[in-house]
Structure 1
């Protein structure tokens, strides 16, 4: 079962096209592990306070409700409770005890994952970045969408694939830069070359025994868990065409990417990242093929442009250099979360704390109303200025406007009318 600290929960973290579908379909064959295709639902929880317009209305009210009435602590606790209900609901009626949440683009909210479930296990699935880019191109060509790698990286508008291929990979490598007891790293290339050996090590990290044949996912297609896995219809479109891991997609990037695409992408990431990820040989092959020696550092102008584009579109700040925080704060997080979940009613200071929260919420609500009042005042002032401008223009268009106005006043006086 998944508890309030995240024990029993496994985050499989990577960017899209890294081989996460293959990893997950193998893990879900284990009798004690439940895994489905991509969930992504934690990202939707984070976005609740920035609710998008709905047909039934109330958009501004919902946003004000979260911002003015719901404290960050209460919101976080509510999200944790909701997530636990979802995760543990998966475990009902089967022998599984662990849940794998495999959701590419969780790299956007690593800080929130650390706060929400500090004791969850984290698996970092890595793949040669050039192979990831080639996989994007291959899959999109298959679906007819097409993928312009160079255009995506240089676009003046946000392109999430470009963010995946740069900021996503960078953030995950920063996040896992320091060793941690709750973190495990695996390379896609090693998984497909020696699936049993890699799964044995992964199972050992997760505290379960390896089960014979779990890497041969074609043998488990008739199970209930397998039916649920494939029911989502997302992930790797090529996965269901094979019974077990194969090496067809290892180091075939130069058959899909052009020299110009390879050069542009390597310059964007910088050589240092390839070395940190353990893909120095692949980088050397790219340098020999393109005839270019790449600088250690990434293209900072490109990185900053993508960061700004993402922030503007989502209001999320992708912090550079963020490291996993669960180790340094695990004791603090354990105490605070346990007290809020199990001992809250017994806390003698809870009444005072509730009063403080109510006052804080009232203050935020007042601030919002004041801000709305200022906006309404500015809007009315703008309308008044516009109306005055129109009147002045009308007067300028009418010849002898003042004389006509005086004449009209005289006529009203002769008739005994009040002006």
Structure 2
């Protein structure tokens, strides 16, 4: 079966680089971020009974025409994509998978998937849509993720939120490693990937059930598939190197290093990241972090409650049923 592949991780952990490495493989197509999978999942009640062709057409028009979705970045014909969704099996996963499969077909590839760092926080939802998905989790030093996020114009939060985001991503990965079926979850580290890509990519291909191809060592050769407007991805147009490793040493203030190492220390050490030993951050910094973490936790609980209630009152089949993807499989817990 051609299992879908999803690249996940904390934002600014190198997921775009990994997306391009996979896209350089002759059988795999991973598009730039699509931004319609999760909104579709949480709006699924609005689409009605997908056994009705008119509802599938409306869903297709919503996917392809909603502002904020990145469908135009895929280079697909809108009318043809909507028609394909109309003809797909009558499930939400099948409709979403149809778009990703059409992207793969456009590039002459057999396997399809998606890349979005935020998916690491939504793996149960992802597996309900794609029960046989293979998730690839890229992990980077939390201090580097925080340092990079604080420099992004699109990052609307402070460093406290960035620290919580990295911690949540790591914890979600640990949960996935414990509960996902064998062959569904794979983790690798950014620092190892950029230092010696060939063995890391070879091991990844073994997990995916694919033959390693040296073309994966040259993601810059396919970087043009991603939008040029994303200036923060400029490094992906260059040869792979380790220049961004430990960039946090210049990007973070001492109190930010202290916060990262104080609250993330065990997680950082577990992946071999050395700590500076700067000590405990100021009490006001810890208090603000605690408030941020509590707020984020409450938001996740509310989201989970709403989704759980919807699942109780609705027994709709969400799973993708595209010729070998999701057929006769149960969603992962």
Partner of 1:135: 148
Q: Specify the alignment match of 1:274 in structure 2.
A: 268
Partner of 1:303: 293
Contact kept in structure 2, 1:268 and 1:302, CA below 8 Å: no
Counterpart in the other structure of 2:78: none
1:238 aligns with 234
| Contact residue 32 and residue 98 of structure 1 kept, 8 A | yes
Deviations 1:117-170 (A, max 9, x none): 121111111111111001112334xx8x78641xxx2xxxxx6x4652332332
Q: CA deviation at 1:184?
A: 1.5
Structure 2: which 5+ runs fail to align?
Answer: 47-88, 282-288, 308-320
> Per-residue displacement from partner, 1:17-50 (whole Å, max 9, x unpaired)?
0000111111111111111211232111122158
2:315 aligned partner: none
Residue matched to 1:121: 134
The structure in which a higher percent of residues are helix is 1
Aligned partner of 1:182 in structure 2 is 184
Q: Work out whether residues 139 and 188 of structure 2, in 8 Å CA contact, stay in contact via their aligned partners in 1.
A: yes
Who is 1:247 aligned against? 242
Corresponding residue number in structure 2 for 1:101: 114
Separation (CA, whole Å) in 1 of partners of 2:305 and 2:261:
24
Tell me, yes or no, if the aligned pair for 2:16 and 2:236 is still in contact at 8 Å: no
Q: Which has the larger radius of gyration?
A: 1
Residues 267-322 of structure 1, C-alpha deviations (whole Å, 9 max, x = no match): 333x322234x13x42x33x2xx1449xxxxx76653332124556xx34699xxx
- SS for the counterpart of 1:245 is coil
Assess, with a 3 A threshold, how the Cα gap between structure 1 residues 268 and 90 changes in structure 2: closer, same or farther.
Answer: same
* 8 A Cα contact 1:8 1:97, kept in partner: no
Cα RMSD after superposing both structures: 3.4
Tell me the equivalent position of 2:168: 167
Residue number in structure 2 paired with 1:388: none
| Secondary structure, counterpart of 1:138 in structure 2 | coil
- CA 1:213–1:86 in 2, change beyond 3 Å: closer, same or farther? closer
| Displaced runs of 4 or more, over 6 A | none
Q: Find the counterpart in structure 1 of residue 251 from structure 2.
A: 256
- 1:181 Cα deviation after fit: 2.4
Deviations 1:56-111 (A, max 9, x none): xxxxxxxxxxxxxxxxxxxx962112112112211324431111311111123211
Contact 2:258–2:280 (Cα < 8 Å) also in 1: yes
| Displacement after TM superposition at 1:9 (Å) | 0.4
| Native 8 Å contact 1:108 1:318 kept in 2 | no
How far off its partner does 1:234 sit?
Answer: 4.2
Select which of 195, 198, 220 maps to 2:197: 195
Q: Paired residue for 1:111?
A: 124
| Counterparts in 2 of 1:163 and 1:86: CA distance versus 1, 3 Å | farther
1:90 aligns with 2:91: no
Aligned residue pairs total 264
Secondary structure of 1:214 counterpart: helix
Asked whether 1:15 is paired with 2:10, we answer: yes
Please tell me whether the aligned partners of residues 166 and 303 of structure 1 are also in contact (alpha carbons under 8 angstroms): no
Contact 1:37 1:102 in 2 (8 A): yes
Please tell me whether the aligned partners of residues 216 and 245 of structure 1 are also in contact (alpha carbons under 8 angstroms): yes
CA deviations 1:211-262 (Å, max 9, x no partner) are 22421233x25xxxx54x22374484332451x2111111221211111111
**Structure 1 residues 300, 233: closer, same or farther in 2, change over 3 A?**
same
Measure, in 2, the Cα distance between the counterparts of 1:339 and 1:98.
Answer: 19
Partner of 2:210: 208
